């Protein structure tokens, strides 16, 4: 399918709503709810890791909105080894050749500063794809300095909760970052975006980019269940499947109207 532009919202509106998904089912629900763009990952329950090429291709076949691919080789921090950086670079090549519109990356040095050398090397592989600096930004030592570095790298967007657990807790910093970005890149609010928080951010800031997952829990169809073994993370329901809700996305989409 051909993909719509990702520079404006649906129907040419100024607000961009990106939905983070890790399955075809979630991607379909996100598009149905009115998302402008997908951030594709795997393992969203642990913050997201790099998705498979097969998952990307299946989503590309069944949806008609741009896809930005998260490139994160493992759970945990953003201090990567040379081997991990080599893997990310190869994945950028792979998804660029497959037709992804953007990549979502972030590398830090031990002191909490952005790893400029690693970032430049990865960006060199990106071609014409859009670049988002993901929430590694929220783990940096100095967000304003990192913002300036992101500008110098030609990064198109920074995904941030304002260096706080949720976007509303970080709203003051989000507002300041947006002002200092001076239109050179988008400050995209994430972590806790739903109907109420989107409304508050729209009223109290000038940001136009929003990132959500809109998750709901779907009960597994398994009838036989072995109560003695858990294959997943401790505390996580073995038979609970997290999926994007079209209704949750649509509720935010209504808030992000141009009137």
- pLDDT above 50: residue 127: yes
**In this structure, is residue 27 part of a structural domain?**
yes
**In this structure, is residue 71 part of a structural domain?**
yes
Q: Taking residues 189-199, report their average pLDDT.
A: 95
**In this structure, is residue 24 part of a structural domain?**
yes
* 213 vs 259, higher pLDDT: 213
**In this structure, is residue 121 part of a structural domain?**
yes
Q: How many domains does the chain have?
A: 1
Number of helical (H) and strand (E) elements in the chain, helices listed first: 8, 10
Q: For the segment 3-24, what is each residue's pLDDT rounded down to a tens digit?
A: 334 566 766 678 999 999 999 9
What per-residue confidence (pLDDT) applies to 225?
86
**In this structure, is residue 4 part of a structural domain?**
no
Q: Within the chain, what is the greatest distance between any pair of CA atoms?
A: 57
Q: For the segment 196-243, what is each residue's pLDDT rounded down to a tens digit?
A: 999 999 999 999 999 999 998 888 888 898 888 777 777 677 788 889
Mean pLDDT, the chain, integer: 92
Range of the domain at 79: 10-223+231-255
What per-residue confidence (pLDDT) applies to 163?
96
User: pLDDT band at residue 102, thresholds of 50, 70 and 90?
Assistant: very high
Report d(CA 173, CA 180) in Å as an integer.
10
**In this structure, is residue 237 part of a structural domain?**
yes
**In this structure, is residue 1 part of a structural domain?**
no
Upper half-sphere CA count for residue 52 (Cβ side, 13 Å): 5
CATH of the domain at 135: 3.20.20.380
What per-residue confidence (pLDDT) applies to 130?
97
Q: Taking residues 241-247, report their average pLDDT.
A: 93
Q: Taking residues 65-69, report their average pLDDT.
A: 97
What per-residue confidence (pLDDT) applies to 258?
66
**In this structure, is residue 2 part of a structural domain?**
no
Which residue in this structure is represented by tokens 């919202």? 9
């Amino acid at each position: 399918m051909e993909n719509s532009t990702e520079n404006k919202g649906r129907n040419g509106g100024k607000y961009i709503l990106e939905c983070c998904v890790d399955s075809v089912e979630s991607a379909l629900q996100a598009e149905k709810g009115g998302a402008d763009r997908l951030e594709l990952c795997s393992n969203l329950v642990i913050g997201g890791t790099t998705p498979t090429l097969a998952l990307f291709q299946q989503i590309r076949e069944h949806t008609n909105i741009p896809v930005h691919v998260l490139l994160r080789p493992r759970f945990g921090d953003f201090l990567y080894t040379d081997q991990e950086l080599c893997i990310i670079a190869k994945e950028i090549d792979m998804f660029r050749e497959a037709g992804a519109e953007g990549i979502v990356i972030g590398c830090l040095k031990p002191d909490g500063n952005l790893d400029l050398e690693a970032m430049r090397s990865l960006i060199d592989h990106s071609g014409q794809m859009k670049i988002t600096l993901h929430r590694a930004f929220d783990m940096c030592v100095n967000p304003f300095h990192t913002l300036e570095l992101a500008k110098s790298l030609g990064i198109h967007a920074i995904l941030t909760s304002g260096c706080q657990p949720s976007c509303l807790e970080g709203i003051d910093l989000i507002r300041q970052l947006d002002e200092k970005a001076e239109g050179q890149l988008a400050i995209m609010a994430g972590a806790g975006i739903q109907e109420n928080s989107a409304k508050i951010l729209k009223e109290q800031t000038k940001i136009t980019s929003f990132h959500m997952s809109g998750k709901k829990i779907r009960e597994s169809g398994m009838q036989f269940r072995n109560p003695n073994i858990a294959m997943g993370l401790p505390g996580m329901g073995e038979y609970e499947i997290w999926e994007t809700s079209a209704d949750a996305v649509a509720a935010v989409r209504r808030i992000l109207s141009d009137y």
